[in-house]
């Protein structure tokens, strides 16, 4: 089931719950007057709505920031590898080709194999670590043979280190970033917030019912959006391998 189908089901379910509760309340005898709502209930409902809106805003900002950080880390990983490949021009042809072959092997593995594994399992692979380690070992164990190689050695090693750091960050962000206790608060807050609508003695008038439905659909949509952004490398608005494809066009990664 796609994410958009899940969103439609969630919003339809929220609408169905609101309508069902309203209809049941209308068929149930109520002793209290429905003409007026006590001021204290209106005040409490307003405060609950404000607090929950703040919580939703913080949650949305948090998952969006995590997604942006994941995108930046991926670009940094791809850019660092591109610079390693470019800076290898100072080496003799045989070793230069070896370094570039190591870079291409790592990039191809990440895009064609590791990416799908990471999306399904929420972690990076040991094979990717080994390929990056091989690149680092090949450069680190070859002593510079000229002044130009000596000057390029440390910048290349720095770029490899940046790649490793970016890879580690990608691994840490591979799964959902929102703690379970936060989801408990978000879902519980949604139930309480929507439930407070009925404390205002909502009836089946078209205007009141329409407003209640719109409010419930909005909360369902916001919760879905948080869930969709919660995993930066999966779901419908995930971070893609586009930086690798743009920086390594010769590998035909998008094909």
Q: What is the pTM assigned to this prediction?
A: 0.80
Whether the predicted pLDDT of 4 surpasses 70: no
Tokens, residue 234: 């999966």
Question: How far is residue 228's CA from residue 13's CA, in Å, rounded to a whole number?
Answer: 18
The residue written with tokens 């390693």 in the block is: 84
Q: What percent of the chain has pLDDT over 90?
A: 39
The residue written with tokens 């930066």 in the block is: 232
Question: How far is residue 61's CA from residue 67's CA, in Å, rounded to a whole number?
Answer: 10
Tokens, residue 49: 């709505």
Whether the predicted pLDDT of 99 surpasses 90: yes
- String of b and e for 199-230 (b: at least 16 CB within 10 Å)? eebbeeeeeebeebbebbbebbebbbbbbbbb
Provide the pLDDT for residue 103: 95
Q: How confident is the model at residue 139 (pLDDT cuts 50, 70, 90)?
A: very high
- The half-sphere exposure of 212 on its side-chain side, counting CA atoms within 13 A, is 26
Least confident stretch, 15-24, 29-38, 187-196, 242-251 = 29-38
Question: How far is residue 244's CA from residue 251's CA, in Å, rounded to a whole number?
Answer: 9
- String of b and e for 56-65 (b: at least 16 CB within 10 Å)? beebeebbee
Q: How confident is the model at residue 36 (pLDDT cuts 50, 70, 90)?
A: low
Question: How far is residue 14's CA from residue 35's CA, in Å, rounded to a whole number?
Answer: 26
Question: How far is residue 6's CA from residue 227's CA, in Å, rounded to a whole number?
Answer: 11
* Mean pLDDT, the chain, integer: 84
The three-state secondary structure class of 91 is coil
Other Cβ atoms closer than 10 A to 33: 8
Q: Report whether 81 contacts 55 (CB < 8 A).
A: no
Tokens, residue 42: 């209106």
Ordered DSSP codes for 199-226: HTT--S-HHHHHHHHHHHHHHHHHHHHH
Tokens, residue 109: 């593995």
Tokens, residue 115: 């990416």
206-235: pLDDT as tens digits? 777 777 788 888 888 898 889 888 888 887
Provide the pLDDT for residue 173: 87
């Amino acid at each position: 089931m796609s994410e958009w189908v899940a969103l439609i089901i969630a919003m339809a379910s929220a609408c169905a719950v609101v309508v069902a509760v309203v209809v049941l309340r209308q068929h149930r005898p109520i002793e209290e007057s429905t003409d007026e709502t006590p001021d204290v209930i209106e005040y409490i409902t307003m405060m609950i709505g404000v607090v929950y809106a703040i919580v939703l805003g913080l949650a949305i900002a948090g998952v969006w920031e995590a997604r942006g950080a994941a995108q930046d880390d991926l670009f940094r990983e791809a850019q660092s590898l591109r610079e390693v490949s470019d800076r290898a021009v100072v080496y003799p042809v045989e070793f230069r080709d070896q370094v570039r072959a190591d870079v291409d092997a790592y990039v191809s593995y990440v895009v064609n194999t590791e990416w799908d594994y990471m999306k399904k399992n929420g972690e990076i692979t040991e094979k990717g670590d080994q390929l990056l380690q091989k690149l680092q070992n090949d450069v680190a164990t070859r002593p510079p043979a000229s002044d130009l190689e000596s000057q390029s050695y440390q910048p290349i090693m720095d770029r490899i280190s940046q790649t490793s750091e970016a890879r580690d960050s990608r691994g840490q962000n591979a799964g959902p970033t929102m703690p379970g206790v936060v989801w408990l608060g978000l879902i519980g807050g949604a139930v309480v917030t929507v439930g407070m609508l009925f404390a205002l003695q909502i009836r089946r008038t078209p205007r009141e019912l329409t407003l209640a439905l719109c409010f419930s659909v909005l909360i369902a949509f916001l919760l879905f959006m948080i869930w969709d952004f919660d995993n930066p490398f999966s779901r419908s608005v995930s971070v893609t391998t586009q930086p690798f494809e743009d920086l390594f066009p010769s590998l035909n990664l998008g094909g």
